[in-house]
Each structure stands twice: as structure tokens, then as C-alpha cells.
Amino acid sequence: MTKIVAATTIVTSPGRNFVTVRISTSDGLVGYGDATLNGRELAVVSYLDDYLLPQLIGRDAHRIEDTWQLFYRGGYWRRGPVTMAAIAGIDVALWDLKAQAAQMPLYQLLGGASRTALATYGHATGRDFAELADSIRAHQEKGFRHIRVQSAPPGLGRIYGVHDGTPTQSGLPVVEQWDTPAYLRHAPRMFEAVRSEFGEELSLLHDTHHRLTPIQAAQLGKNLEPYSLFWLEDVTPAENQEGFRAIRQHTTTPLAVGEVLNSAFDYLTLISEQLIDFVRSSVTHAGGITGLRRILDFAALYQIRSGMHGPADISPIGMAAAGHLALAIHNFGVQEYIAQSASVHDVFPSTHEFRNGNIHVSDHVGLGAWIDETAAAGFPYERSFLPINQLADASVHDW
């Protein structure tokens, strides 16, 4: 039996915070998993250090499913982002170890490759159309064939997807602004301008970031139909899964949901009633490869495809895990991909490559991504928050 002899967390902040799980075995191997939960990183670290990792010592490293069930079922308090990110970090580290022991790249253990490379999308953004058009062109030059477009309705200051969430000097969350009627007028105009400049072939995506009611979302989807989106994302908060029935009755614009969802139960109605087209959950936030594969196999029964969340708050270790799973499944859709800074790459060496709009998963044994602990130690944790969002009357709105 290959025993787990050590399991620790590593927190580092090369420009933003990342949480990494490191597991060592009696046969001398070390595996890594990403457990980063943006703006709540240390809650996951405590969940791991205080509760889960002590239970791993002495366990058989190869019992991945059994360990997943131990921490999901055995923890009594199920689901939720903190729990499922913690389980993800452990699950991916165990898959990394198993693949290293088998001397194979991880995707081989998941059934082997179903495709040659992974099509990605990037984020084009601009305060106005001229800036957005430049950003779209810059993405096309990097080879992106799928591009998410976001721009600000006139009159709004800081809004999601256009301005970054750099913390204020007080160290408290940045406050962004929102105006639903202004947004509903602006979005179709933005797409009209983008289509007339860039033509019909470019694959376009857009993120509404949970801000509309179901009937507003239905109206938006309908108004965007002439522009043939690849997907419209998170139109309304998905904890009301039934709300998507109204949206679906009114529009044929494809819908993507789920970057904040972390179990198959969060998708039960959305998937079984075919209310969505793409599953946005990531390996890092949905219980690892074991957890997300369950959701994606369920989705596959209904021709629903993956659109895994891949923001900069998922580490290169998390992105490598996403790549192996995406390469192996049949129902891959597209992979979100945001370039990381040089310091992130110094801390997290990885062997997958972004080339010409695609991610190429490497044939390195295991995950093919790890952490350089010496480099990581140069970037200590810095508290940071996601922004919050408010209306003109200062009431809180969904972010």
C-alpha cells in the first residue's frame, strides 16, 4: 500500500492569492492540487489544515473515490464552496500522485484523449466601443476564435468585466455600480457594433454576472438573438434553478451557468430539464476531477457541454487539472483561459501550453504542474476581496 505520509497547504500571493495542497507518499512521490477560493482563501486553508488533512495521514493514496466520499459524506456538512474547494485540492493531488505512480499523463487514467487540443476563449473588454474593438483585435492576434465581450453602459463608473477589482486603499472591497435598465439598453447595441465590425464568424460570449431577474434575462436573451452568441453566461442567480424555465421559454440564445455551483445537486433541474447549454463549474471549485466529472457525465446525457471556469484566480495547477479532464471527456465545449503573469508562472511551473487560441495538454507524467516553494515563499498572503456591487440608491445588488 502507498501511504500518505504528509499533507500540507501552501498559501502564496504572486499578484493574487492561491491555495495549494501538497500530498507526499511513502513511495517518495509528491502530488499537488489547487484549492483557491477567491476572496475567501484562508477559510479553505482552515478547513483543510484543521479538519481534512490530519485525516489523510496513513491512508492509502490510491483510494481516490473512497477519500472523496470520506470528506463529502463523512463530513456531515455537505456541499458549499469552502468544502468543495478543499475536497478539490485533495482530489487533484491524489490524481496527480496516481498518474505519477502509473508513469502516465493524468488524462490517460481518465480514459485517454478525446481531442487533440482545447479551444479556449479570452476576455475582451473596453470602457467604450473603440477600446473594446482594440481588445477584440488583440485577442484575435493571439489566435482566439472565441472571445467574451464586455463594455460599460454609458454613465456607469466601475462595473464588472470592464474595470479590474484592484482593492481600495482602505483594503476593503471595491464598490462597483449597476443599473439594470441602462445595461439592458446597452448590451444589444454593443453586439450590434461588434458584429458589424467583426462579421458573423467570430464566436462571441458575454457574462451578465447574476444581475437580472428571470424575465429581464429572457428579454436580454431574446434581444441578443440576432447576434448569435456562443453563450450568454449567468443571466440570473442560479440558486433559483426553476427561474431558468421562464428564460428558456422565451429565448434560443445558448445559456452557460455555474461558476459558483459545486455539486450535481446544484444542477439537478438545470440539467434534467435541459434549461442550460454549458456547465461553468471548475475542477477547483466543484470537488476536483472526481466531483466535476460526475456533473459533466450527468450533463452529457442531455447534450450539455463543458465551459469550465478558468479565471486568473485558478492557479496553473488548477488549469492543468481542467486541461486533463477536458481532454478526456466527450462533451467538451470550450475552456476559459486568462494569461497569468510572469511571477505566477515562476511560482507555478507548468507544462501545458497556450498556442494560437488552444491549450495543449502535455504528456508529462501526472498533472504536469507543480509549485516552486522557494519562489512561493517570496510572495506572502495578502488579504483581498472580490468587489461588491450597488445600485444608485446604495442598496446592495448581486455581484
Give yes or no for residue 209 binding ligand EZ4 (CB under 6 A).
yes
Considering the rule CB under 5 A, would residue 41 count as an interface residue with Co ion?
Answer: no
Catalytic hit among 47, 160, 267, 337: 160
Residue 156 burial (CB count, 10 A): 18
- Residue 81 in the binding site for ligand EZ4 (CB under 6 A): no
Our answer to whether residue 364 is catalytic in this structure is no
Cell numbers linked to 214: 428571470
CA distance 127 to 159: 9
Q: Which is nearer to ligand EZ4, 94 or 229 (CB)?
A: 229
Nearer to Co ion, 243 or 307 (CB): 307
As a whole number of angstroms, the distance between CA 158 and CA 86 comes to 32
Reading the block at residue 132, the C-alpha cell is 473594446
Task: Determine if 207 is a binding residue for Co ion (CB under 5 A).
Answer: yes
Binding mask 231-270 for ligand EZ4 (x = CB under 6 A): ----------------------------x-----------
Binding footprint of ligand EZ4, residue count (CB under 6 A):
7
Q: Which residues contact 28 (CB under 8 A, 6 or more apart)?
A: none
CA distance 386 to 39: 6
Active site residue 72: no
* CB closer to ligand EZ4 out of 193 and 386: 386
* 18 phi and psi angles, rounded to 5 deg: -135, 145
DSSP state of 238: T
299-328 binders of ligand EZ4 (CB under 6 A): 311, 313
Contact between 91 and ligand EZ4 by CB under 6 A: the answer reads no
Q: Which three cell numbers stand for residue 228?
A: 448569435
DSSP per-residue codes, 131-161: HHHHHHHHHHHTT-SEEEEEEPPTT--S-TT
Q: Which is nearer to ligand EZ4, 259 or 277 (CB)?
A: 259
Interacting residues toward ligand EZ4 by CB under 6 A: 38, 207, 209, 259, 311, 313, 386
The residues that are catalytic are 160, 209
Interacting residues toward Co ion by CB under 5 A: 207, 259
